Each structure stands twice: as structure tokens, then as C-alpha cells.
Amino acid sequence: MSSLRRWTRLATAGLLSVFVLVGCGGGEATPTRTPIPTWTPTPVVDVPVVQEQAGQEAAPAAPGVQVVDPTQVAQAIATDTPTPVPTATATVPPTDTPTPEPTATPTETPTPEATPTPTETPTPTPEPTYPFELEETAKFATESLAPNVVRIFAYIYSPAEFGLGDYKLSVIHNGSPLVVDEVSFAGIPDQTREDPGPFTRFTNFSVIFVEPQAGEWRIQLIDSDGQPAGTEAIFSLTADENTRELYVRYR
């Protein structure tokens, strides 16, 4: 406000001077008007700041001289904050983002079938080896035996001998062993029949059993030590069967 007041005073004084000069000219030539002074900014110089005493006003400046208020200059310098210049930011060019390839859908893996556990093939029991071979088994119709009487004939021989002695038979009827005391004899054998016929065979052993004939009959050759010497022969009889004479031949 102090600077504006001073500037107004200077401008008013200048205008009054112009009017006085024009009025005093009378019939003289019209003088060239002095242009109104314009305000020209004065460069800022370091001026020692002089504090005015309270209640005293600064001395008025001479006409045409710009008065610089050191306090305003100091405030202007203090508040003159430079406008920040924006820093250019480098624009990063976009990078090509690769398009992900579609993932192949996995094919379903077939579930392997369970391998069946192989069943164990039972090992066949080897046939025992005997010194004698069962050559023949037969059933003859009886002519002299009563019902429930069973006769068993056997012929034990070798290629070198017509008959071999000291051999017995193991006889089992329906699972029950029967007592056999007879043994085979050596030498010339007998015959199952006196006359030649379909039921006539050589024999060197015979035994008779009196008991119900029906059922299973198992017959096997036994040596003198009680050990099996040949393959077992199996017969089956009915209750009213007439072929109750059983025959085995071992070689």
C-alpha cells in the first residue's frame, strides 16, 4: 500500500505540472507535450535494509525516481520458488507377451486289469514202482460157492519160474482189512478149473471169505516183508451177484 500511495502522488504531481505549463503559454506556439512517464522496472540491487522507526514514514522520493522497498524485495526473493520442470519419463515399449499354447488334454490311461493269480497245478503223485506188474484182473461165475462166500485166486510168477512162493495178498473189504494167512507156493501152479474153459487160469494162491459180499474189494500183492509188491486191483460186487470168484495175476 505504501508503494501504491507513492506512485499515485508522483502521477498527480506530473499532471499538475503539465497543466501549469500549458496555461502560461498564452499566444505562443503550442509546445510539444511531454509524455507521461511510464513505470520502468529498476533492476534489483542489494540495498541495505533500513528499518524505519515506528511512527515515521520514509522520506518521499524525488519525482521520477522509483522507490524500492527492501522488505518487499526480500519477501519476493524468499517466496520466489522456481517451478519444477517436469522430468521426461522414458516410455518403456510394450513387450510381446507370448500367447500360451493350449495344453493338450491328457488321454485317459486305461486301468490295467489285475493279472489273475495262476492256480497251482497239483503235481500228480508219481505212481509207485513195484517189482511186479499186475497183468490181469477178472471175475468168474461161481459153481460151488454159496451166497456171501467170496473166493480170491492169485498167480505170482516170473519169466524164469512158473510160480513164486512166500507171497501174500492184502484184502480190504469196504475199508476194513481182512485177515489173510495163506501164502503162495513155488513150482508148478494149479488151475482155477479142472477142465479147460473160459474161467480156467493158472494159480498158486487162493483164499475164501465168508461174509456179505456186496461192496468194494481191494486186493494187492505183498512180499515176505509185508511191503506192497504190485499194483492194487479193485473189484465191486452186488448183494446178489454170482461172479464171486476174483482173479489177479502178477508177473
Residue 77 lies in a domain: no
3-state secondary structure of 61: coil
3-state secondary structure of 134: strand
pLDDT given for residue 249 in this prediction: 99
Q: Please provide residue 203's backbone torsions phi and psi, each rounded to the nearest 5 degrees.
A: -155, 145
Residue 90 lies in a domain: no
pLDDT given for residue 53 in this prediction: 44
Residue 211 lies in a domain: yes
* Cα distance between residue 202 and residue 191, in whole Å: 5
Please report, for the domain that includes residue 217, its CATH number: 2.60.40
Residue 242 lies in a domain: yes
Q: What one-letter code names the amino acid at 229?
A: A
CB 246 within 8 A of CB 191: no
**C-alpha cell read off for 193:** 478149473
Structural domain of residue 169, as residue ranges? Answer: 134-250
Residue 178 lies in a domain: yes
Residue 173 lies in a domain: yes
What are the angstrom distances between the C-alpha of 221 and each of 165, 192, 249? 12, 18, 9
pLDDT per residue rounded down to tens, the chain (251 residues): 555 566 566 666 666 555 545 454 444 455 566 666 555 555 554 544 444 444 444 455 555 555 566 676 566 655 555 666 666 666 666 666 667 676 766 677 777 777 777 777 777 777 789 999 999 999 999 988 999 999 999 999 999 999 999 999 999 999 999 999 999 999 999 999 999 999 999 999 999 999 999 999 999 999 999 999 999 999 999 999 999 999 999 99
Residue 138 lies in a domain: yes
Number of domains composing the chain: 1
Residue 109 lies in a domain: no
pLDDT given for residue 200 in this prediction: 95
